[in-house]
Amino acid sequence: MESSFLTTVFLPLALFIIMLGMGLGLTLADFRRVITAPKPVLLGLAAQLVMLPILGWVLAALFPLSPELAVGVVILSACPGGPTSNLVSYLVRGNVALSITLTAISSLVTVFTIPLVVNWSMQQFLGEAVTLRLPFAQPVLLIAVITLIPESLGMVLLHYLPRFAAKVEKAVKWLSLFFLALIIVGLLVRERANVGGFFVQVGWVTLTLNVLAMGLGYTIATLTRLDHPSAKAISVEVGIQNGTLAITIASVLLGNPTMAIPAAIYSLLMFLTSAVFAWVVQQRLRTTQA
């Protein structure tokens, strides 16, 4: 999946605007609650950084994949969440502050864990090891520009212009749904020539990874009796990975485009499953309110 205007310009711009809207509904108290009650953060990180790569390896071993595609699945499962997971948490009324915190911490930690996972998976499936180093400054800067800066601006507006922030925050939810739908359509149109072949190769394993990861996050959160917004945030954060990062690792850092195929098809599927997840949550919400 090569870069295009959709992924390099429109998607970051859309996410910037959406994150600004999220900030309009956040206060410092939301983040203080996450810090003073670290249980959801620790559970989310354990699920994302430990259990998810194990799940990815199990699926890569169970499905009939070539060694390169199997490594690609493991690489994908080792990647952190991204701004998309924050967006989906926002749309399903999850704990957005928790989602943002998990994204930020996991993005920093996986700079060090991804090379270990990649090296181990290469040894397991290909019988060879590689020396892989991920750039530290680039992902940190990207996180700041797309998430932390616009969210901070939104929080400042909420603090100083609360009435204006309340009006804009309501409109942003509809804008977020529009952007999500537009991104899905754009990606499908852009990859229409490759979607069929990619899906035949790895569609079912990436879909299984996506759905089981969401289920894993939600199960852990409910078994440990977390509140419902935190459970939704963790299920989304564990279930939605940074496909763009996985593609970059496979095709650029490892120089193996075949390994990027799982992340490419996953980048399409995660938007569709996210839309379904958001719809299911909204239907359940309407049922409980009726």
Is the Cβ–Cβ distance between 250 and 256 less than 8 Å?
Answer: yes
With a cut of 70, which residues of the chain have pLDDT below it? 1-15, 18-19, 22, 25-26, 30, 33-34, 83, 108, 128-148, 170, 173-174, 176-177, 179-188, 190-192, 194-195, 252, 281-282, 285-290
Q: Where does 130-161 have alpha helices with state H?
A: 137-143, 149-160
Question: What pLDDT does residue 200 have?
Answer: 81
- Which among 63, 54, 80, 53 is positioned nearest to 205, based on CA atoms? 63
What is the structure's pLDDT at 184? 57
- Per-residue confidence (pLDDT) for residue 6, from 0 to 100: 56
Residue 180 lies in a domain: yes
Extract long-range pairs of 158-164: CB within 8 Å, 24+ residues apart.
158/23, 158/24, 158/25, 158/26, 158/27, 159/27
Report yes or no on 283 lying in a domain: no
In a domain, 286, yes or no: no
pLDDT value for 2 = 47
Residue 259 lies in a domain: yes
HSE-up of residue 107 (Cα within 13 Å, Cβ side)? 29
The pLDDT of residue 55:
94
**233: nearest Cα among 78, 51, 103, 142:** 103
pLDDT of residue 134: 52
What CATH number is associated with residue 232? 1.20.1530.20
Is 289 part of any domain? no
Exposed, middle or buried: residue 3 (CB in 10 Å: 0-12, 13-18, 19+)?
exposed
DSSP string computed for 229-255: HHHHHHHHHHH---HHHHHHIIIIIS-
Model pLDDT, residue 57: 94
Look at residue 210 in the predicted model and tell me its pLDDT. 92
* Domain assignment of residue 77, yes or no: yes
Residue range of the domain that includes 189: 5-278
Number of domains the chain contains? 1
Q: Tell me whether residue 288 is in a domain.
A: no
HEC letters along 70-93 = HHHHHHHHHCCCCHHHHHHHHHCC
